[in-house]
Structure 1
């Protein structure tokens, strides 16, 4: 997700900025905040017919999706520009080789430099990963399989199961281990199971891809093809034992508190004591997210030949390592995961991939410098004020609900009062003590950083939760809500134009980042978040009647999005996108209410480019969220992404809002106006 000058701002905006700068130089200071991007609007369109097309259609018509992207908008353009900022920081620190060993500058600079040394990476071929492959190929028995699984987990290769350190669903002040399904090579279980033509084709493409990777690692074509079939059959069995994407949205289905002894009874073929001891984790109670999957794991451990385990593990090492190896591996990995699955036709420039990788592995090492350059204190202060106002709007909304009883309202308000907003960056930075990074081997650096990150997570198990930890790095252009901690988190990377700009009008900021803030707040009260109480426990705080009314309101949203198709025969799964759609609907409503309240007692913001402040609010959302998305990516999203495609993230929620209809004076029968039983409102 999502910087002003670098955004390719239209002439009109530049002129306004120059005028503001000139006026600031005279005796009486004058400040002129900018509004929406009027040049992005499709003037021959109609706001009340298709607001997505109207708000940003002109921009999309003149800005084709870059070959290396699967979607494009000002939001995604800003996100890519953000990576230029990260690159500038990394280029600066990597230009020096005399940083103190273990310092943030040495770690991030050398990691980036090793990644950027493409000639050395290519010269090494598959040699960096050979020790792992040799270990796998030397496995002779079940004990060897289990030892290797542990070694792979140490560096973040999460097969055939995964272990994550997360809060206890019922005692969220405590961190426990959560054991669940391992990584699949395709996006989700349905790719292995469903009979639709697109999934059948994906299975064929995937097996050809796996075979090609085995060939690159030195196998003959016939053996590689046979091994690909082994991998697919192995993964299919695991997929069949997994929850589907809609089931994964129900936390109750993944709430299976288990003692350490019971885990051993569930999968007796695995030596859990040896695994936990090697990982330096206590033999405490834990949570099994999918018991059926672990039953399948037991079957595989007990009956699958060691040779097939070797093939399966070797594939997942190659798959995990591909982007850090020589060009043939990188290109083949992109051919399936990029070209085929997303429709992108070329890879991102190497510097961009290296910037992403450094942020992913060592984000808080470079985060300090990023924040210093791109997130000034005044931006944080303004963001804090907006969050406060939108939380107050949610309070007013809850208090005014006519469908919720007083007992449930009391619990909802208690939960709202415990929300913890995190803005920009952590108060305490990770020090990455013990990470060894050099410029000799990029893959070795990836392994070293991954090993540290895995160990850092495991070290939390059995301890009180550290509420200062972040789930995203400061340069990340995204946001999230964590129900177990009841926190909303906005890294500095998303708090950049056009989502947020200290020089923008309130209407523009509330219409973009304000809706995102409201969206994350609403997640605390969507179909998932509403199952967690004020302390972050998975606990029902609803009366039966209020729960029924809430479910009915959610059903309206499900029905609405089931009616949105991306092409004939492929439509959104309303239950899959329910939470995100409640978030967008609540977010737009809350942000608009907060915007109006924030202007009380102040002079009205001006009409700019012919648009009222209220219209600017909605246009800001339409322009920030207005992604053009490749058909291949749309198909992948509809299959497994809980977010709807951008068109319906704009039109879907706004068509339910009376404030939108009023702002653009839409007629009652306009396509952007839902009425009566068709109009959805949850919060």
Structure 2
């Protein structure tokens, strides 16, 4: 997964085991199960490795899928819930980490009080919207609301300058719509139309829950949808947002104030308490459109819009009828059948609002120093293998190879958890005030981000919580990050043989390293600046290879006639292809990798590729798969296996893949970039 200016971004498998503090017991080997020998590995390796599991596993009613990748966060939340259940029952010193995470959890578990309050917590906000008298006061409301986490038409944050990565600057990006992406407002297929109707129904239900009659609620919902759609017209597509240079537009505040007077940029930035004379506008068309809409859309309509988005933002934090209304929309868009348990919801909430506080408790219980040391060794070895691959590239000149290896060597590697934990001293948590706790945590997060403005970038900062099953590459910092959450089976097991670990977490390490050199990452230099370090002829060759990835993956059919969006997923697909290749090279540097002795029924090489297949073992509902294809920059899990292996000659050799097999690609047509 790649993290850009916002965080993002993406990983999860069936929960099989955990890293524990006690001394590990010796294991001769870990058996690989579930392989279907009735299938040909060269026809569909994902099915060959996972069919027995896939055809028998049930997706929990509270989930949209099961297995690896993001769905591994489901059992993670149960782990976190166990920690929170324990800490919330103890008497903890006021202001301590334990008190804050425990009391936040208790406040959210107190559904009796939450239900009794109804939508009382947001009434002051709705009253503030009613008091808006002109465009200036509208923007003043939006600015103040954004600070407390109630976002609508402004997206403001502080992060590194793409062209001066050592310094933090102000950024603003496109926002303002309620559906997942602009394309949902314009697609006319039956599935998307059903989502549009469900969204309008959701908006109508929110208004009805605040006392608006049915006819008026529908009218208001249609009005909000119309404003949303006008805003969506100005949004760049997900593919357009992959253009690094086009999405960097640093502008003088004075120029913006002159060109977009209705927004009132100087007043907005004053309201944000952001002292700056320039700001990077990621997608200028959005703010040009917003400036126009602020004048063309009647003020009364804007008030309806702001009320709708306020209710959307907070629906899950209000009484049960609001939660139910939000879930009815979730069902349509994701296929999830039943709401998550309150405990699971609150584990996610605490992790989201107080993530590094809860993370300290998680790491203490579940992540050992021995595991961290082994992981460091794996990262170092994959990095060495990557350097060797760069050196041996036939298509790249020596001068560019030197720059590439310098960039590779400069990568910062973060494993397990931060060296310095976030400070939550300015977050006030009360066991009886769930909504207010959320506002306090959101406001503190905003202030923490704002304090970075105009200051040097803190390279020790993390953009995910330690317990999350994910990994990411941050090109502006030239860093790769592997939280403790992913450092457990099937990705990583300190007791497992090298074949499983290199095919598992090794592939993920190779994937994240490759983001340093994918179509976006390749535009950043070793310091994290958008700066060309390529010989012109080499970059042209690189772009032609990237186009090969786009073309190959665009041919893959996922569901009915639905294809992978090759141009949207090219960065992740490039990282998958090279990730497997470099992990395999690193594995061949180990004693087991140089051996051919079978463990059970499989050779070391076969175990490596089976491990690749098992870390992406996922089954999901069709609705969620459609959501995935339209919005996720990663290919669906089956193609995170079959796609890279189609291009891996060692895979052909390990499983005797023949020309008549479905995955077979002629050797000269197999994609090798890194």
Matches within 5 A, 1:196-345: 196-337=189-330, 339-345=331-337
The aligned residue for residue 60 of structure 1 is 54
1:37 aligns with 2:46: no
CA gap of 1:446–1:34, structure 2 versus 1, over 3 A, is farther
3-state DSSP class of the match of 2:276?
coil
User: Is residue 12–residue 67 contact of structure 2 (8 Å, CA) maintained in 1?
Assistant: no
Residues of 2 paired with 1:599 and 1:335: CA distance? 54
Residues of 1 paired with 2:105 and 2:460: CA distance? 27
**Cα distance per residue 1:358-410 (max 9 Å; x no partner):** 00100111111111111100000000000001111110011100001112112
Provide TM-score, normalisation by structure 1.
0.94
User: Is residue 392–residue 594 contact of structure 1 (8 Å, CA) maintained in 2?
Assistant: yes
Provide TM-score, normalisation by structure 2.
0.95
The aligned residue for residue 642 of structure 2 is 651
Residues of 2 paired with 1:253 and 1:619: CA distance? 40
**Cα displacement (A) at 1:548:** 1.4
**Cα displacement (A) at 1:605:** 7.8
| Equivalent of residue 155 in structure 1, options 148, 160, 185 | 148
The aligned residue for residue 82 of structure 1 is 76
| Equivalent of residue 463 in structure 2, options 459, 468, 471 | 471
**Cα displacement (A) at 1:352:** 0.5
3-state DSSP class of the match of 2:203?
helix
The aligned residue for residue 72 of structure 1 is 66
| Equivalent of residue 615 in structure 1, options 592, 599, 606 | 606
User: Is residue 114–residue 319 contact of structure 2 (8 Å, CA) maintained in 1?
Assistant: yes
| Equivalent of residue 641 in structure 1, options 604, 623, 632 | 632
CA gap of 1:75–1:286, structure 2 versus 1, over 3 A, is closer
CA gap of 1:128–1:673, structure 2 versus 1, over 3 A, is same
CA gap of 1:218–1:34, structure 2 versus 1, over 3 A, is farther
CA gap of 1:425–1:57, structure 2 versus 1, over 3 A, is same
The aligned residue for residue 87 of structure 2 is 93
User: Is residue 36–residue 620 contact of structure 1 (8 Å, CA) maintained in 2?
Assistant: no
**Cα displacement (A) at 1:78:** 4.0
The aligned residue for residue 352 of structure 1 is 344
User: Is residue 36–residue 48 contact of structure 2 (8 Å, CA) maintained in 1?
Assistant: yes
The aligned residue for residue 537 of structure 2 is 545
CA gap of 1:160–1:74, structure 2 versus 1, over 3 A, is closer
What residue ranges of structure 2 are gaps of 5+ in the alignment? Answer: 1-10
CA gap of 1:44–1:76, structure 2 versus 1, over 3 A, is farther
What residue ranges of structure 1 are gaps of 5+ in the alignment? Answer: 10-19, 25-30
The aligned residue for residue 13 of structure 1 is none
**Cα displacement (A) at 1:199:** 2.5
1:559 aligns with 2:554: no
1:598 aligns with 2:593: no
User: Is residue 36–residue 508 contact of structure 1 (8 Å, CA) maintained in 2?
Assistant: no
User: Is residue 434–residue 452 contact of structure 1 (8 Å, CA) maintained in 2?
Assistant: yes
Residues of 1 paired with 2:219 and 2:414: CA distance? 50
Q: Tell which deviates more after alignment, 671-680 or 522-531.
A: 671-680
**Cα displacement (A) at 1:77:** 5.9
**Cα displacement (A) at 1:516:** 0.6
**Cα distance per residue 1:3-43 (max 9 Å; x no partner):** 99x6289xxxxxxxxxx98xx7xxxxxx32533531x2223
User: Is residue 49–residue 671 contact of structure 1 (8 Å, CA) maintained in 2?
Assistant: yes
User: Is residue 33–residue 503 contact of structure 1 (8 Å, CA) maintained in 2?
Assistant: no
1:480 aligns with 2:472: yes
Q: Tell which deviates more after alignment, 424-433 or 272-281.
A: 272-281
User: Is residue 7–residue 74 contact of structure 1 (8 Å, CA) maintained in 2?
Assistant: no
**Cα distance per residue 1:579-622 (max 9 Å; x no partner):** 0000100110111111111337x984852230111111111111
**Cα displacement (A) at 1:75:** 5.0
The aligned residue for residue 504 of structure 2 is 512
1:420 aligns with 2:412: yes
The aligned residue for residue 16 of structure 2 is 7
1:526 aligns with 2:518: yes
CA gap of 1:119–1:37, structure 2 versus 1, over 3 A, is farther
Please give the root-mean-square deviation of Cα atoms over the aligned residues, in Å.
1.8
User: Is residue 143–residue 154 contact of structure 2 (8 Å, CA) maintained in 1?
Assistant: no
1:495 aligns with 2:487: yes
Residues of 1 paired with 2:377 and 2:596: CA distance? 18
3-state DSSP class of the match of 2:531?
coil
Q: Tell which deviates more after alignment, 520-529 or 151-160.
A: 151-160
User: Is residue 65–residue 620 contact of structure 2 (8 Å, CA) maintained in 1?
Assistant: yes
Residues of 1 paired with 2:17 and 2:540: CA distance? 49
The aligned residue for residue 668 of structure 1 is 659
| Equivalent of residue 98 in structure 2, options 85, 93, 105 | 105
1:380 aligns with 2:372: yes
3-state DSSP class of the match of 1:90?
helix
**Cα distance per residue 1:105-149 (max 9 Å; x no partner):** 111111111111112111111111211111112222222211110
The aligned residue for residue 17 of structure 1 is none
| Equivalent of residue 51 in structure 1, options 45, 49, 70 | 45
